[in-house]
Structure 1
Amino acid sequence: MRFANNLFDLVCTHYPKLRDKLVFQEVSSPLSNAYYLGSYLGSMYSAEHNLERFQLEALARNRCDTPVKNLFITGQDVFSCGIAGALHGGLLCASTVLKHIVYIDLLMLKKKLKRKKARETTEHVKKLM
């Protein structure tokens, strides 16, 4: 708690209005994760996220399909840790299941939405004139 309080004091030197907003504060460490999550060999995000995980060979071995028919792996352990990793793991798994690159669909949808937004903005500007 001493570490957390010192860190909070430091933040409050830059953002003094924040001090009155704190209602609850909790502190944890890797030891807390090991104790509460039982993650002695991994990390709080499941598989250990170290530099070896991101070596080219390891990345090439990561796949969503398994030797078991219709069993697929998804989530952060397929791609990378955290929310963004889980999102990309889901996209990779969907691509594997559908045998279709879902990223391309998303890229095309993004372009379509941008064009639509540009048309709407142009029409709105014309109405204002």
Structure 2
Amino acid sequence: MTYTVKRHIDIRECGYAQSPSKMRSGERRAEQSCSIAEANTKIAQANLVNTMMKSLTSSNPQERKLAVAVVLIALPEQGPVLVRTIAESDEDASVQSAAKISLEQRVDVLIRDLFSPDAGLRINAAHELIQG
């Protein structure tokens, strides 16, 4: 006579399932990593502002125009504020005009992005338009 032993194996015994506390711990680590990444991004942006200030205040109008374009691309949150200031107060009318055109082009792109099939792009565009 042959006996067959059947044993039910719970996947938790194999280590495939995690306890709720381990899941919460993993979520906390992910949130902390995200917060650290955001802080590092802000630090890098602040360093870029320091670097770009030399170009934004240069005596060369061409350098200032180029700096305006770079600031809008590299600093989506603070860039428009800096460029708006330049558009209103630069001593060179051509730099003011370039800054205004750059701001208008940015708004055009963001409005176009509001209708993108990519949800992330739409959300980002709406957020940036609200910020100014």
Normalising by the smaller structure, the TM-score range is: under 0.3
TM-score with structure 1 setting the length: 0.25
Which structure has the highest helix share of the two?
2
